[in-house]
Amino acid sequence: MTAVDGLSDSTEVVEMEDVPSQFFVEKHSWEGLRDIIHCSRKYSGMIANKAPHDFQFVQKKDENGPHSHRLYYLGMPYGSRENSLLYSEIPKKIRKEALLVLSWKQMLDHFQATPHQGAYSREEELLRERKRLGAFGITSYDYHSQTGLFLFQASNSLFYCQDGGNNGFIVSSAPVKPVEIKTQCSGTRMDPKICPGDPNFIAFINNNDLWIANIKTCEERRLTYCHKGLKASLESFQGYPKIASCHVKQSFAWCALSGWAVLLDRSQRKLQLVLLPPALFIPVTDDPALRQESLEAVPSNTQPYIIYEETTDVWINVHDIFYPFIQTTEDEFTFIWVNESKTGFSHLYKITSLLQPGCYHWTEDYQHVEDFKCAIKEEVTLTSGEWEVLARHGSKIWVNEATKLVYFQGTRDTPLEHHLYVVSCESPGDVVRLTKPGFSHSCSVSQNFDFFVSHYSNVSTPPCVHVYKLTSSEGDPLHMVPEFWASMMESPDYNPPEIFDFPGKSGFQLYGMVYKPHNLQPGRKHPTVLFVYGGPQVQLVNNSFKGMKYLRLNTLASLGYAVVVIDGRGSCQRGLEFEGALKNKMGQVEIEDQVEGLQYVAEKFNFVDLSRVAIHGWSYGGFLSLMGLIQRPNVFKLAIAGAPVTVWMAYDTGYTERYMDVPENNQQGYEEGSVALHVDKLPSEPNRLLILHGFLDENVHFFHTNFLVSQIIRAGKPYQLQVYPNERHSIRCPESGEHYEIMLLHFLQQYL
């Protein structure tokens, strides 16, 4: 008997609502997926982020010439596959009714900056990994404004050329040939810097030690004998003992940043800003008599000064924002500094410290660090509020001492956008935005503060680069008006994600973005991929272009997947309280925010299928992918974990202790946050877990995956493993990258 036959005359027939049907992604062969990846990469070439960066303005002094400035930068010329040193001329006058697009001109003549067949030295490979560099060619340069000297690393060597400065502009109709700096050093010379006082001298790192060289005579001298004390960057004089090891007593024979230094305690909750007079630096010697002679030569009134101190209960985010004013008296020192600990948000302060002599003499052991601490005469708040001045990741400020104005980048309008602002350091109050809203900007200001260049984009606009002229009245220099002057790059079309926000149960407003399936059909539920990072120092969701870095997410959307990205508690640029939610609890709070976001998206957008959700991420995102499957196997059908940290006791000491303290103080946090200790909670169904890892990973060592898999086998749980034998933390080889993307798509189409 059918259901219809069973109905009596008195039975009320209720019309059922349409139940959304599931959308199934078309399954492709391995070769078919390879073709899809090739097409995706071909499209990426059309929207490739080849925008110029690392700008340097140089003013032209020719009053009769047509150009006011020459703008130097790194960029990828049309038809090239590597970054090179380029320049553009900025005209004094423009036709306002026409769009002026500046031409990119080559500085260097037929110069190949990438080593032959991409054969970087091991030191360079590791530095590129740490800096997350994907571009080839010249990736940075140093510039000496008085002489116009450019110094850069390329082809496993160091080179220099000159243009601008007091010697005039040499490069005009024809580019120049850079000069290689010869060396007797074995190994690669890293992170070259020009001596500000005498540009004939440069400094560099070689085999973990600091060297100087004369570029004219090629004479070289080794300055330190640090035994692996210096990393491949002059900005990174930091080292930590192994987690849970004894607290070592450290002494420094050399500090790379003479003049001033930032000192942190091991817990990274106390910071001291120290002035180091050059007279304190003495030769390193094992001869006690020579050392004593050097000590006695130090003037008796010479001492270090602790000019500022910060403490916090969370952690201190280190930065390089420090601007010293010229001293007008010997006993006072005024500077601009960024402090996050005071209010929980990074803000600018103008500080005056009293350089009071202590009771310390170099021939005696000091009794207490308080001997060097200076009193604070004045601390003026320049910016304030629940937003941040950008200070991390190489951010800069520009100070015009003539007009008493400070230019900086921040998130005053919205945490999703970076803007250029200006504030008075003499009478702070108004903070004036100089860049247009609706975009996220990265800016550089000219030395005479009359121009700035902005590399900007939003989620729907690929990067543009525009130059603006700054004008203001003499009576009101603060409220200046940026005038569009010229373009260096316009943007093509792009299919963007959509940004959303929702109130989290934690009390914070959370932000996310969703890539809608390209073949979206009303009433159909699509399989969903949650792309996650979730750790500190990173913000995924903001109003900037996502095309290249997250091209894979757009590819997933083109195949019919819904893709969701959420910045939960722990991500950066939302203040220290928001980021500090992870303090001692990594892996315990992040998934909650991700699941809340998924549920919100499913309610807001009717196309998300909560019964078919995969979680995928790399590094900290790989760690959270595993945590998601362990903590919420009812929410996540699949987990695809790339290079995951699986036991915090075995990860980088400085990073781990910063966020998790030492194990003896946080045993529970270490245990609950180590996924390898919770494999018994993984699902027993096959084809729900895929782990990927580069065998040469120097960041998250392959030990983490090895230990995890051993524990999984011991627990009798199913898993799949994909190893990339010649890859480090980031997949660099194009063939490996292609294989990883195909593997990802194949696993999703087969099992989601």
Q: Which active-site residues does the annotation give?
A: 619, 697, 729
The single-letter DSSP state of residue 262 is E
Number of separate helices (H) and strands (E) present in the chain: 11, 36
Instruction: Provide the 3-class DSSP secondary structure of residue 714.
Output: helix
Burial of 683 (0-12, 13-18, 19+ CB in 10 A): middle
Contact between residue 471 and residue 480 where contact means Cβ atoms under 8 Å apart? yes
What distance in Å separates the CA atoms of residue 703 and residue 294, rounded to the nearest whole number? 47
Q: How many CB atoms lie within 10 A of CB 21?
A: 10
Neighbouring residues of 122: CB distance < 8 A, sequence distance ≥ 6:
none
- What are the Cα distances from residue 243, in Å, to 82, 97, 391, 649, 661? 40, 63, 28, 6, 10
Q: Going along 40-197, which residue ranges are E strands? A: 53-59, 67-75, 84-91, 105-106, 141-144, 149-154, 157-162, 179-180, 189-194
**Residues contacting 165, CB < 8 A, separation 6+:** 58, 144, 145, 146, 147, 148, 149
Give the tokens for residue 362.
Answer: 């170099």
Coil, helix or strand at residue 210: strand
Amino acid at 603: E
User: Is-contact 87 143, C-beta < 8 A?
Assistant: no
Could you tell me the CA-to-CA distances from 457 to 306, 357, 418, 572 in Å, in that order? 41, 51, 10, 20
Query: Using H for helix, E for strand and C for coil, what is the string for 73-96?
Result: EEECCCCCCCEEEEEEEEECCCCC
Is the C-alpha dihedral spanning 221, 225, 228, 230 positive or negative?
Answer: negative
The total number of residues written for the chain in this structure? 752
Give residue for tokens 């500094």. Answer: 337
Residues contacting 263, CB < 8 A, separation 6+: 271, 272, 274
The edge-to-edge listing of strands for the beta sheet with 259-264 is 259-264, 270-276, 305-311
Tell me how crowded residue 749 is: count the other CB atoms within 10 A of its CB.
18
* 3-state SS class at 193: strand
d(CA 561, CA 44): 19
The phi and psi torsions of 586 (rounded to 5 degrees) equal -60, 130
Cα–Cα distance, 75 to 69 (Å, whole number):
18
Residues 723 and 40: their CA atoms lie apart, in Å, by 24
d(CA 685, CA 677): 19
Please, are residues 188 and 124 in contact by the beta-carbon 8 Å criterion?
yes
E-assigned strand segments in 229-387: 259-264, 270-276, 305-311, 322-324, 332-339, 347-354, 375-381
Of 167, 165, 161, 169, the closest CA to residue 215 belongs to: 161
Q: Which two tokens stand for residue 77?
A: 């010329």
